Chain A
């Protein structure tokens, strides 16, 4: 078991959050002999604790602390206090994620250069590229056991996939398969193969899906170099007169305020909580919040251009049986401005249970138009759209001083409005998704609006020039040398792909960098 570290031990690295970014970073640092205290706001839940029940699981795992919303996105109307469906638990949203693990396309690291000027978009090239990231992606794919990499076979196709594949092929799509998934198609790394249970979003009870909760976290703890403190909610990052970070204040499981000293602090609380924490850490030296000399903390919030298409058929599909998201069409992921928008999108299979279908198919809708759709639930197939959305400075996380959380801290307000490019891409994707299902005989289709966000990106973005973003190419803040950002909020642009694999690759790379800097005496 992990040796506990003293609150006054100022040699430790404090990692805030234990998801795809913080959980992986904590373990990778621990494996390299670095002492880490990971502070996790949520509790610890393992496969035996997960429940095959959508609402019960939501109550168990979801981040339900208050947040507020604004902007013209429909989530602000239908789910005003729930801008995101993400997890508050050890392992973070890796308990909930679908497992889709695809690399950025090479050009997506250079969105500004590739797409050229897009009015209203705050596009920027990443300070890193495909060549730099390739070896880190290799390590991430091995860690996660991604299917269709390293000779790991693809998952078998479930009913929902078979409908999707038949429609895609009828339309002439070529890049159609059961995905690159961090879900075992065969036993791997001490974890079972997928049993086609469904409920991937509720935590995999077999452990067939990779989650930091039962891989990286316990492995890091086993080194003796990692201590994970559960139900520890960080309130503020502290600094000295020289502007260096010295530790953090957090509320422990009993609600008592504690102070942990640190050699360096890595923030990985996701794209809402990470900027919120930097802003809530404002001081007389940093009145606009930590690492915010650019004014970019909280800005450029991206959530991917999303939406869903459901199709009803005259015969049963039973889409809930089997892996929730093992199916992808990649033909539309390319950058092809002739379609009327820059960037691209993926189509991925998706199934919801009846309770969530009722909540998310058309939020707020009622009457027979709605209920006849649910009457055909057994005959439904579903897909999710995920594409690159445009970073906009005005889409941002700010502090809402009118609303406080249980600790009296101002909550995050999440403001989002679609860019015209997002709308054009979504409309294209709706048409293509509907065509996929109509090609195999759908009698009715539903272009379903985006759910509360699961991909939350960009609010502490990476930039070459300190003027344009919050962190450099290592995730190190431009302003404070011993303060890092280690989650999806680093993303300069969102690309079309599900972000977890890239977050993991960046976390491994950052751990290697931090360990190197420590050994070189630079931190």
Chain B
């Protein structure tokens, strides 16, 4: 499970000292991936932490929303951290890293510009792995109730009596 607060004893300083930076805002440590601000941490079970960090970056590159923290992308892909899924995910991420190395980068996370990462994703967008991750994100990311308010979407309204007295026709700029 993802924790929205770091594990006990995992202060920001400790976290940073025990881990390596992975991409712009992720850190990877022994058995975990965390936000660089230590606001959240995800312990991995079956996947290598580096693989999970790469998967989170890949998820953001597929559906980039600058106002969404990494945490939401981590939640969207954490379902792949199982014994059943791990082999396929490790292979897919290895392929992603190989493609990055083919372009002269250390690995996918080592690519600084989004456009260079996206070029690699475009080159593999018909692959089963890419489509598995992209397809899963459609619900994994956008069906998280926690992200809805970040897009302005209000979700369920019946319990509040609908919008008949709450602005169904409140548009004022026409």
Contacts and interface: CB of A to CB of B under 8 A. Distances in A.
A375 B170 contact: no
B170 A159 contact: yes
Interface string A141-175: 00000000000000011110011001000000000
Contacts of A321: 154, 157, 163, 166-168
Interface residues of A, number: 44
Contacts of A195: 161-164
Interface string B44-63: 00000000000000000011
B56 to A, nearest CB: 16
A371 B65 contact: yes
Contact of A198 (B67, B148, B163): B163
A187 to B, nearest CB: 13
B153 A320 contact: yes
12 contacts: A52-B158, A156-B169, A158-B163, A195-B162, A197-B158, A197-B164, A205-B158, A316-B152, A321-B163, A322-B169, A358-B141, A359-B142
A401 interface: no
B14 interface: no
B155 A53 contact: yes
B173 interface: yes
Given A197-B158, A199-B158, A358-B142, A371 B151 contact: no
Given A159-B171, A162-B169, A196-B163, A318 B155 contact: no
Contact of A375 (B65, B134, B138): B65
A52 B156 CA distance: 5
Interface in A293-347: 315-318, 320-322
Dominant secondary structure at the B interface: loop
A157 B168 CA distance: 8
B163 A366 contact: no
Given A198-B157, A318-B167, A371-B64, A162 B174 contact: yes
B10 interface: no
B143 interface: yes
B69 interface: no
A54 B156 CA distance: 9
A408 interface: no
Contacts of A201: none
Interface string A435-472: 00000100000000000000000000000000000000
A190 interface: no
A198 B166 CA distance: 12
A77 to B, nearest CB: 12
B169 A157 contact: yes
B171 to A, nearest CB: 4
B157 A317 contact: no
B123 to A, nearest CB: 13
B118 interface: yes
B162 A197 contact: yes
Given A163-B171, A367-B64, A359 B138 contact: yes
Contacts of B62: 366-367
A318 B152 contact: yes
Contact of A163 (B151, B156, B168, B174): B174
